Structure 1
Amino acid sequence: MNSIVNLPNDDRSCGWYAALPEPLPCTRLVGEQKADYVVIGAGFAGLSAARRLAEHLPQARILLVDAQRIGYGASGRNSGFVIDLPHKFALEHPDPQHKQRLLGLNRAAIDQLQSLIGQHRIECQWSHAGKYQGAVGERGLAYLDHFEKLMADLGEPYRRVEREELSAVLGTSYYSRAIFTPGCYLMQPAALVRGLGASLPENVEILEESPIQRLEQDAQGRWVLHGSQGIIRTPRLLLGTSIFTQEFGYLRNRLLPVMTFASWTRPLESAELEAIGASLDWGLTPADHAGTTVRMTQDGRLIIRNTYKHVPRYGRSVDEKTRFQIRDDHRKAFLARYPQLAHVPFTHTWGGTYAISRNFTNFFGQLSEGVYATACDNGVGAAWGTISGALLADRVVGADSSQLRDIQAVTGMPSLNPPEPFLGLGVKTRIRWAAWNSRSEI
């Protein structure tokens, strides 16, 4: 029997979600249900898995279960990048074929999302805007030079953007230089996730606000999922639960729960945009990974994202006092870039929890009899969740493909973590050390 202890507990101040219309009333898990397949977690991975299962098996009954509303959790809380390039750590991999497989998988995810957005007319600020990777001082420039070399080795297109040209886009001369890569897409994550949920095939039934608190197997070998007001019996269970996979008893001591935080402004007025000379619809990530991400949305909101915390109790690890302190830190980063906008307030500050592993390895495959999972996106969840969820469904029904073989080749087992209290002390020390070293780039 696997008992879940810690459930999602996200703050109520996610700007992306607050900008959406109120959702329609949801259906919750009540009474006893039976399904051919159950997917837990309605983020990018779970939505993609449920859709692909339904396409393979249109007569099957598929239940997609989430503890919260669709779009409220981690998938609706990122900064709105769908990045084609492998993660910075993956770019260091010595095997060129490994990197090409990751690149192909990420681009397949983008193609999949673009097709669904067009087919179902999902309004989510989807844009092929590319991405800037920016440096402030010498430390950032050294990272940027290294990134440029990695791009050249990978054979991928990129372009240097110097301060003057960059400031004409960003509306700030804070950055010394950037590398522009054209393959990234931008979007409104909560709108995209909600739209993907609303457009699922008819044989996918969604149960929201229905946290699963315990798993067990019955005498027939079926999995029994226990909620507070009902149960579900199923022979096959797919977990798109990211960090919460360990709460069901799987991958324990192999995943690190980390939260990153963002704040955004109200939409800037035309005069304010003209005063700083900024364009709409762009995104910049830091050359130094502990630096600051900045985004301008299509409706003129500026987003500042930095600050990482180890959150062993997920959302319960961060109280309101801490979140206000983080907002103040975001404000300093904002004013360093846009002092002319000192009068423009932040309207929302929020956090989102994701999973990383010490060896930067994603898990994909079977966990036990009838239980499958994709877990640990290492901070690049939109593309990875989309493609890994679809391919996990392929794996479950036995549909082979070159993409399935690729994802099996680049995934593995996340490494074991040290025991507590050494783990928490080590992670906190590393985060603080990275923030100190990167203070010139924040």
Structure 2
Amino acid sequence: MKDTINLPHDDASCGWYAALPGRPPCSRLEGEQRADYAVIGAGFAGLAAARRLAEHHPKARILLVDAQRVGYGASGRNSGFVIDLPHKFALEHPEPAHKQRLLALNRAAIAQLEGLIQRHDINCQWSHAGKYQGAVGPRGLAYLDHFEKLMSDLGESFKRVERDELSRVVGSDHYSGAIFTPGCYLMQPAALVTGLGRSLPSNVELLEESPIHRLERDGQGGWILHGLQGLIRTPQLLLGTSIFTREFGYLRNRLLPVMTFASWTRPLSDSEMQAYGGQLDWGLTPADHAGTTVRMTQDRRLIIRNTYKHVPKYGQSSNDAMRASVRRDHRKAFLARFPQLADVPFSHTWGGVYAISRNFTNFFGELAQGVYASACDNGVGAAWGTISGTLLADLVVGADSAQLQDIQAVTGMPALNPPEPFLGLGVRSRIRLAAWNSRSEL
């Protein structure tokens, strides 16, 4: 086990987080604390795990600890899609039952989130808007044809949308066509995650800005979590730490840290909305997975997301010069789609780190005695984090269910990575090759 932890180091320019209203001061880890359960990481997985533990054991003391403010990390930095369909790579799995399990799990997560949003009146632009998968040129259209076949094989509803109909929605004739799938929801991720944090059960204590630097066995089968100003003693530890799981000594050499970037505009004015000519509240992902994701929010902001980088040092691998370069690339993609909005500036450009594995396999289960984790969402974090965190708590307390059996059936061990420097060279080469091959779709 590592003696020191490389901590999250996210940039301070996330638009989603900046758009939130002012937040009250947070509670931090101080002194020696004892808990029946401790959860590290207050993203989608950690929040869901802590909530479910509290539901099972309302008299237990549960500590949920995060190195940053809730909503500041990866869960608050995504593009705001909650997708019901399996990931593009999972859609190609040879076993239909595998895909149906993933679909059912994702839809259970959506239903769970919707119930919490309604119950706790979380204002997060939640919308059953569906999703477009868009193609620019022949390469993208070939991917669309393949996606259409996969959807037909899965037995899921979809609609092929041609250029003219699509342009009336997205305010751009840049796309040749798209496939619309109705099961996706859209949201403001930082607002959703902070709302989930505010509405935790009373026996969950949320400790923010409280990085855990070291884990230690207590000699009695439990754990000691060491922070800067305090420590936590607990018999049961749950990790909702995604890529940072490897910093605690687990899944080492099995997770790949990848950063993706987004830029958004300020809200469009009335005249700019007229020039734009499209609708509010839609999301489009690229048919070619290395292409560009685009969203129009309910509050009139256009978002461009593309550019992937291997970041072995997490946020420390990113700097102002890198973001400036990314912003220029985003500007090119923006102007290609919305030349009528050439005078509309970007107000924020930000990055977010997530974990992928070489075999696109998610880890779920027990890592060591008293240590459990859901790790490696492979870029589909909102739904997967929610359901995997919930079911991880079920696993810890011994509450069996058909859903728990399903998630155990579709998860496994992420593949080992080759050693450095070969790993970094290989990942960077693959990212560059994908960007080159997909340049017509960017």
Q: Give the TM-score taking structure 2 as reference length.
A: 0.99
| 3-state SS of 1:252 partner | coil
| 3-state SS of 1:151 partner | helix
Matching residue of 1:362:
362
Does the Cα contact within 8 Å between 1:254 and 1:417 map onto a contact in 2?
Answer: yes
How far is 1:21 from its partner? Answer: 1.1
* 2:385 pairs with 1:381: no
Q: Distance in 2 between matches of 1:178 and 1:222?
A: 52
* 2:202 pairs with 1:192: no
* Identity fraction in percent: 80
Q: Distance in 2 between matches of 1:19 and 1:8?
A: 21
| 3-state SS of 1:117 partner | helix
Matching residue of 1:309:
309
How far is 1:274 from its partner? Answer: 1.5
Q: Which AA in structure 1 matches 2:405?
A: R
Query: What whole-Å deviation, never above 9, does each CA across 1:390-430 have from its counterpart, x for those lacking one?
Result: 00000000001000000000000000000000000000000
Q: Which AA in structure 2 matches 1:135?
A: A
Q: Distance in 1 between matches of 2:3 and 2:111?
A: 38
Does the Cα contact within 8 Å between 2:133 and 2:180 map onto a contact in 1?
Answer: yes
Does the Cα contact within 8 Å between 2:258 and 2:354 map onto a contact in 1?
Answer: yes
Matching residue of 1:147:
147
Alignment of 1:196-345 (within 5 A): 196-345=196-345
Matching residue of 1:91:
91
Q: Distance in 2 between matches of 1:107 and 1:3?
A: 39
Q: Distance in 1 between matches of 2:283 and 2:220?
A: 52
How far is 1:2 from its partner? Answer: 3.6
How far is 1:22 from its partner? Answer: 1.7
How far is 1:5 from its partner? Answer: 2.8
Does the Cα contact within 8 Å between 1:216 and 1:225 map onto a contact in 2?
Answer: yes
Q: Report the more deviating stretch, 266-275 or 348-357.
A: 266-275
| 3-state SS of 1:440 partner | helix
| 3-state SS of 2:260 partner | strand
Does the Cα contact within 8 Å between 1:141 and 1:287 map onto a contact in 2?
Answer: yes
Does the Cα contact within 8 Å between 1:2 and 1:216 map onto a contact in 2?
Answer: no
* 2:185 pairs with 1:156: no
Matching residue of 1:169:
169
* 2:7 pairs with 1:7: yes
How far is 1:229 from its partner? Answer: 0.9
Structure 1 residue ranges without an equivalent (≥5): none
Q: Which AA in structure 2 matches 1:66?
A: D
Matching residue of 2:58:
58
Does the Cα contact within 8 Å between 1:122 and 1:195 map onto a contact in 2?
Answer: yes
Query: What whole-Å deviation, never above 9, does each CA across 1:329-354 have from its counterpart, x for those lacking one?
Result: 00000000011111100000000000
Does the Cα contact within 8 Å between 2:79 and 2:305 map onto a contact in 1?
Answer: yes
Matching residue of 1:21:
21
Structure 2 residue ranges without an equivalent (≥5): none
Work out the number of aligned pairs and report it.
Answer: 442
Q: Distance in 2 between matches of 1:99 and 1:29?
A: 41
What is the CA RMSD across the aligned residues, in angstroms?
0.6
Matching residue of 2:135:
135
Does the Cα contact within 8 Å between 2:5 and 2:212 map onto a contact in 1?
Answer: no
* 2:81 pairs with 1:76: no
How far is 1:272 from its partner? Answer: 1.2
Matching residue of 2:390:
390
Q: Report the more deviating stretch, 273-282 or 383-392.
A: 273-282
Q: Distance in 2 between matches of 1:412 and 1:3?
A: 27
Does the Cα contact within 8 Å between 1:13 and 1:350 map onto a contact in 2?
Answer: yes
Q: Give the TM-score taking structure 1 as reference length.
A: 0.99
How far is 1:3 from its partner? Answer: 2.5
Q: Distance in 2 between matches of 1:180 and 1:152?
A: 13
Q: Distance in 1 between matches of 2:224 and 2:2?
A: 10
Matching residue of 1:371:
371
How far is 1:184 from its partner? Answer: 0.1
| 3-state SS of 1:178 partner | strand
Matching residue of 2:419:
419
| 3-state SS of 1:322 partner | helix
| 3-state SS of 2:414 partner | coil
Q: Which AA in structure 1 matches 2:42?
A: A
Q: Distance in 1 between matches of 2:185 and 2:305?
A: 18
| 3-state SS of 2:32 partner | strand
| 3-state SS of 1:324 partner | helix
Q: Distance in 2 between matches of 1:238 and 1:67?
A: 15
Does the Cα contact within 8 Å between 2:284 and 2:294 map onto a contact in 1?
Answer: yes
Q: Distance in 2 between matches of 1:16 and 1:237?
A: 30
Matching residue of 1:406:
406
